[in-house]
Amino acid sequence: MILQIRRAHPQEAERLSQIALSSKAYWGYPARWMEIWTPLLTFSSEYFEENESWVAEKDKEPIGFYSLQDKDGVAWIEDLWVVPEYIGQGVGKQLFLDAMSRAREIGCKTLQLEADPNAVGFYERMGMHKIGERNSEVDGQPRALPLMEMELREI
C-alpha cells in the first residue's frame, strides 16, 4: 500500500481524534471505558501545534497518525493510531518505521512507549521489548499498561 506520511496540521484535530477513538474501540472495550477515554483521545489543535505529529494518508485521506516526543534524549511515541479498516495492512508498521527514522534524526538512541495491552504483539514484531508496566485503573478495574523499549541502531 502506497502511503504518504506528512506532518499533522492543527486544523485536523477533529479528524485525528476520530481516528484515535475508532482505533481504540477496535479492541472491543466496554462502552463505559470508551466514554472515560474519550476526553483523553480527543485532541485539540494546540496539541498538534505543540507536539511533533505525523499523518499517514492514502488518497489524501488521513488513515493513521503518531506523535513523537523527545523526553530527555529518549524518543517517546505518545500516540500511534490507525483507522480500523487499515489495521493489519501495514499502516501501523509504516508509521512506526517513520517514527524510528525521525527519532534517529533527532539523535535519540532509545525509543519507548506505553502500549495498549492489545498492541504488545505488534510492538514486539517491530523489535520492542517490555521493560515494565504502569498500573492504572479504568472504571474501578485494575489495568497494567506495558512499557516498551528498543535501542535505535544506526542503519
- List the chain domain ranges: 4-111
- What own/partner pairs with CB < 8 Å and gap ≥ 24 does 10-16 have? 10/45, 10/46, 10/48, 10/49, 11/45, 12/48, 12/55, 12/62, 13/43, 13/44, 13/45, 13/47, 13/48, 15/62, 16/43, 16/48, 16/53, 16/55, 16/62, 16/65, 16/81
Residue 154 confidence (pLDDT): 67
Residue 35 confidence (pLDDT): 97
CA angle (75, 76, 79) in 5-degree steps: 145
Average model confidence (pLDDT) across the chain: 95
| Mean per-residue pLDDT, 51-78 | 96
Residue 1 pLDDT exceeds 80? no
Residue 83 confidence (pLDDT): 98
| Mean per-residue pLDDT, 47-68 | 96
Residue 102 pLDDT exceeds 70? yes
CB 62 within 8 Å of CB 4: no
Rounded CA separation 104/115 (Å): 21
Share of the chain above pLDDT 90, in %: 97
Q: Give 155's pLDDT tier (boundaries 50, 70, 90).
A: low
pLDDT tens, 111-130? 999 999 999 999 999 999 99
Share of the chain above pLDDT 70, in %: 99
Residue 153 confidence (pLDDT): 80
CATH number of 4-111: 3.40.630.30
